[in-house]
Structure 1
């Protein structure tokens, strides 16, 4: 499908592949010296739809103290349990592939998969992710919540760009959904 919207994972991780500590702390991330907003605003302006898992949503609600950061975007939260929608988000617990087919064919900008790891894994298994933009922090935390779950997905990527934001390295990949490593 030629004019479909892209689903982009835009996320930060430690050098050893973790997106948070086991207690969901991001303290390690905020200790790294970046540059400006590390490219966040320029990326944020390219998207009009936000997708996230329930754990990520709960983390945001807890840590942002009621200031929902995606107020001007269409936002969906994927949850295994039915939840009541609110002014900021629509909760979803149906078929991911069918939902994404409908969402990608609607007019609009790119779609941002915020996180987390469980939801990402579901999207990778269904071959729904189009791009990965990962900002690596020069920190090895040793254990925590992994960006990628252990599985035999064998996904091939094509490097599109590399950018540096002081101590952070941003790697931008195209996901080759038609190719799987054997």
Structure 2
């Protein structure tokens, strides 16, 4: 699928930046850095064997870890360099697609996760459209979990309004992936929202 507008990731990053991103995470893994905090948190929230969409999957590390924990994971990213890296994880089904126009016919998920600053790297003005596509792909009662830095122009207040506009209700917000309490002024927000129904 072609993207409708240039994302902030595309505007601010080059192919060499994407390759450096892949190399950075490969080195962190080689150094045995704990890269699975997000997966541990999500795994605790999900029913066993959940169908999960990793939206903005990057290198696929989160989706691969969720798959290792028994979940069925589909991953999506717009960056072809990152998609190639994610496809190295044989346990993932990976699509190169723009979240603003995401259409996976017949696919519905128990959870969608947008972990690594996805919502602040999309094209400005497409956030609500992306959330609508995410909601479309969730089963009734399914959860959406997003984590992003709070010091960008798209903040948590606007995010909450966009969630509500597409039929999702914010249930929880934390300041970190290890679920430290949210407070105004936190530099990170992890939000858990639920699609109506179910």
Higher strand proportion (structure 1 or 2): 1
Q: Same fold (TM over 0.5)?
A: no
TM bracket (short chain): 0.3 to 0.5
TM score, norm. by length of structure 1: 0.43
Where relative contact order (Cα < 8 A, 6+ residues apart) is larger, the structure is 1
Q: Report which of the two has the higher share of helix.
A: 2
TM-score by length of 2: 0.40
